[in-house]
Every structure is written in structure tokens, then in C-alpha cells.
């Protein structure tokens, strides 16, 4: 019998376009799922037959309780090398191989500035207006001369600094691991968290989600921001307290928010963020690009081929690897 392999959450139906899954055809049956199951019972029933599962980022979590319900599971392949939604200890206890792929982060930087520009220039508003027959209903703003507050000056945050400078904006930065020397080397001014929130015209998050950073931006922090400031999150939804964010947006304590990530993904149809006029929302597309998908799916297939061959896998993910990646100051 052929090995059963599942590819999850291929929302756009492009997995086979970017990865040569035909390389597996002689030895494996590959089932690609385009829908997303949030219910754990339904997910356990669906995935029970599979020996290997390929996952895209944290779209589908694999906690210990789910792993324990998958008796045939022997390998998990994830895009990226630090997927915190997989319980690596539970996988190791079952001798389940977890491996990953390379990633660039350039798409996240692009998404960050797409959201900043959309908010400042009122792109989504004027696009709707012109389609509905209205002309010049509002007045946008310019990034030049503004202060961009970057929380997390790692691999992505450093790139945000460079683009901010290209727009003639000033970059200030803070994170739990940041030093004044690293900030200066990146071209940003090192400030305290409170100072960043008080000074910034745009506050943008670029941190790894962990127990220490979960809920880092809450009611107190939104209260410290200027009422004219925009909040941007292209990292992970739970970095900000969603209830506090909704209150700040509804009450006009901040001017607006550009969000690519959410506490629950896909974002529920009845979620209140969908109805707020001072938001620009995108469906977690910071890593969704042709270049990223080509890397992800090509290397997912490479990892699966190596696993089927019993050959060494170059990109094994362990708790130590994930912890090291999360603690790396270049990522925070």
C-alpha cells in the first residue's frame, strides 16, 4: 500500500503549482485539502489515516491532544522552522519527525507598508467611493515626516526601518531584547516602550508570539497612543489584546488599524472587526507570495521525499531549534 500524505489548508488551490508533488506519486497518495477544519473531533477523524501531514504555518494547530488521536502519524512538515502551533514534545514522544522549510520575511514587510499606505492615503475608502460615484470625499496624509514606532527590531523590523527611511519617516524602536547599539546599527532610535507608544504616528508589531509577548499591547498601551495614530499588526494576532483593540477603535482612541493577523483564523464571518470603518483587513497574506510559496512547497516536497527514502532530513524542527529561533534577537 502507498503511504498516505495530507496537505492541509491549501486555501488558494496552488500547492501543486508551486510544489512538484508528482515526485511522490510512485510511493504515496497525496490528498490536498482546501478547506479549514477548526473542530478538533472532525479534524482527528479526517487525519486519522495519514502517515505524513504538510501544514502551512499555523493555519491548523497540532496540540498534544490531537497528535495523540492520530495513530498513523509519522511525520509533520511545516512551512518555516518555528511553528509554535505544533507540540514538538508530544511529537517527539511518539517519534514523529517534524521538519520545516526556509522562509524570507520580505512579504511581511511588503504587507506592513501596504497597510500603512492604505490607512494613510485612505485607499480602501476612496476606492469604494469612486466605484460608487463619489469623488474626493476625504483628505489623506503622508508618511514623510511621520514617526514609525517598530516593536521588534529583528529580521523583519530592520527591513521596515529601511523602507520608513525611504519615505523620509523617522524610525524609533523597542523590544524586550533590543539594545541601543542594535537599534542604532539598524538606523532606528532606541526608546522605551512607553515613549514609543506616545511618540509614534504608526505603531507596528514585529515580534515572535510567546508567553512573554502574548497580550503585549492592551488597553493601557492603546491609551498611550496618539488619537491620530495607526496600529499595524502583521505578526500574530494574540500579540495585541483583541478586546482592548476593538474598544480603542470604536471609541476613537486611535485613528485606525491595519491587520493581517487575528486571534482566530480564518476570521469568523460575524467578527466585529469586519464592520468597523477605521480598519484595513487582509487575510494573513504577509507570507503569501509566489516567492514564498515556491520555497515552501518545493521544500515540503523535498522533505517528504527524504522522509520516504529514509534519508537524512536537513531541516529537522525540535523544541531546541524552535526555542532558539524564538529567542534569537534578530527575530524580535
Q: Which residues are catalytic, by number?
A: 236, 265, 284
261 and 238 in contact (C-beta within 8 Å)? no
Of 126, 105, 104, 130, which Cα lies nearest the Cα of 117? 126
229 and 193 in contact (C-beta within 8 Å)? no
3-state secondary structure (DSSP) of residue 66: helix
Of 203, 206, 172, 201, which Cα lies nearest the Cα of 189? 172
Of 258, 290, 256, 257, which Cα lies nearest the Cα of 114? 258
The residues, ordered by sequence, that sit 6+ positions from 225 with a Cβ below 8 Å of its Cβ are 197, 198, 200, 203, 231, 248, 253, 254
Amino acid at each position: 500500500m502507498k503511504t498516505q500524505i495530507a496537505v492541509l489548508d491549501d486555501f488558494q488551490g496552488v500547492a501543486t503549482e508551486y510544489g512538484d508533488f508528482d515526485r511522490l506519486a510512485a510511493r504515496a497518495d497525496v490528498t490536498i485539502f482546501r478547506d479549514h477544519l477548526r473542530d478538533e473531533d472532525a479534524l482527528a477523524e479526517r487525519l486519522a489515516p495519514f502517515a505524513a501531514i504538510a501544514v502551512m504555518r499555523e493555519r491548523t494547530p497540532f496540540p498534544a491532544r490531537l497528535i495523540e488521536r492520530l495513530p498513523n502519524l509519522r511525520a509533520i512538515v511545516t512551512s518555516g522552522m518555528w511553528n509554535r502551533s505544533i507540540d514538538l514534545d508530544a511529537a517527539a514522544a511518539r517519534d514523529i519527525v517534524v521538519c520545516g522549510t526556509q522562509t524570507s520575511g520580505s512579504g511581511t514587510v511588503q504587507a506592513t507598508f501596504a497597510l500603512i499606505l492604505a490607512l494613510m492615503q485612505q485607499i480602501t475608502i476612496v476606492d469604494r467611493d469612486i466605484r460608487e460615484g463619489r469623488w474626493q470625499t476625504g483628505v489623506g496624509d503622508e508618511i514623510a515626516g511621520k514617526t514609525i514606532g517598530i516593536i521588534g527590531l529583528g529580521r523583519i523590523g530592520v527591513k521596515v526601518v529601511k523602507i520608513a527611511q525611504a519615505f523620509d519617516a523617522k524610525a524609533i524602536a523597542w523590544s524586550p531584547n533590543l539594545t541601543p547599539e542594535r537599534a542604532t546599527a539598524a538606523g532606528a532610535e532606541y526608546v522605551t516602550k512607553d515613549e514609543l507608544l506616545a511618540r509614534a504616528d504608526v505603531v507596528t508589531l514585529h515580534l515572535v508570539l510567546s508567553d512573554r509577548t502574548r497580550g503585549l499591547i492592551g488597553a493601557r498601551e492603546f491609551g498611550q497612543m496618539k488619537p491620530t495614530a495607526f496600529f499595524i499588526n502583521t505578526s500574530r494576532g494574540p500579540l495585541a489584546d483583541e478586546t482592548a483593540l476593538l474598544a480603542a477603535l470604536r471609541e476613537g482612541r486611535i485613528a485606525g488599524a491595519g491587520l493581517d493577523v487575528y486571534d482566530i483564523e480564518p476570521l469568523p464571518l460575524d467578527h466585529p472587526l469586519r464592520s468597523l470603518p477605521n480598519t484595513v483587513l487582509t487575510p494573513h497574506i504577509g507570507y503569501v507570495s509566489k516567492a514564498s510559496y515556491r520555497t515552501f512547497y518545493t521544500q515540503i516536497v523535498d522533505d517528504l521525499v527524504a522522509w520516504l527514502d529514509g534519508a537524512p532530513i536537513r531541516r529537522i524542527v525540535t523544541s531546541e531549534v524552535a526555542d532558539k529561533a524564538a529567542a534569537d534577537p534578530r527575530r524580535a
